[in-house]
Amino acid sequence: MGFGNKLWQPWCVDEAASLPVLKAAYDLGINTWDMANSYSNGECERVVGNAIREYDIPRDKLVIVTKCYLNFQKGYVNRLGLSRKAIFFEVNASLERLGLDYIDSLRIHRADPETPSEETMEALHDLVKSGKVRYIGTSLIWACLYQQAAEQERDMILYCKATGVGIIPWAPLARGHLARPPAVETYSMQGDMEKKNSGAAFFTVGSPGMDKKTISRVKEIAGKKGWTMAAVTLAWILGKGTTPIVGMAKLEQVADTVGLKGKSLDESEVKYLEELYVSREISGHF
């Protein structure tokens, strides 16, 4: 999401800055690259495709993930949503920008209330059968569309685990909040954009006091273990049996992420981080 065009989001980095980061990530074994047709209005996919060609990365060594549903480009008629026409158009456009023959995992970015789910699923099925897509998935879909379940952290995750559905958390560092002390702010991180755009903290809706206390506990454990706060947060997430999407726009962030290998929290540390949790509003859905 961070690769593309600063005109889309100020924290994005352009192609010249993105290519070395992608190369370093690949060299260190990070081979699953997640994007969406809407990120930088398609520029993110183009940058990733250029990186693959620039560094002559074998196609079978990468797992390419992209999404469809959103579209912010001109000529958007019949290109927004999950109709058969929209899905086919966006997948072909993504493949063209990437310069690839197939997508490893295509995910619907949101649920489309205007299109029958049968139409969407048949279109996705046909794309898999055609060879343009290997696997399908969802991103930010209401639990009731899988099964009747009420709360993301509890019901949805339990349901997915029980039915063998993999879980890939996005924004695992809460847009930077869980990677820095509560009082520290840097404009370059996603976390600061919420204040600029909405005047409210996106990840502190409902319980800002508890959030700050939890963040302080992350900092405390990081200090005791000699880790970064990001490492503590990601170790907790990995311990839940999930595979988070980690945003990296700098070479040092790539190294920090790879450095997570072998890191884990003990039971007392996990309990210490979790005991202040309170159920909260679900964010991200339209």
Residues assigned a catalytic role? 39
C-alpha 172/C-alpha 236 separation (Å) is 10
The CB-side HSE value for 26 (13 A sphere, CA atoms) comes to 22
Rounded CA-CA distance 282/142 in Å is 10
Strands 32-34 and 133-138: unpaired
182 close to 212: Cβ distance less than 8 angstroms: yes
Integer angstrom CA distances of residue 12 from 8, 142, 189, 201 = 8, 28, 9, 20
Are 44 and 35 a contacting pair, CB within 8 Å? yes
Distance between CA atoms of 250 and 215, rounded to whole angstroms? 23
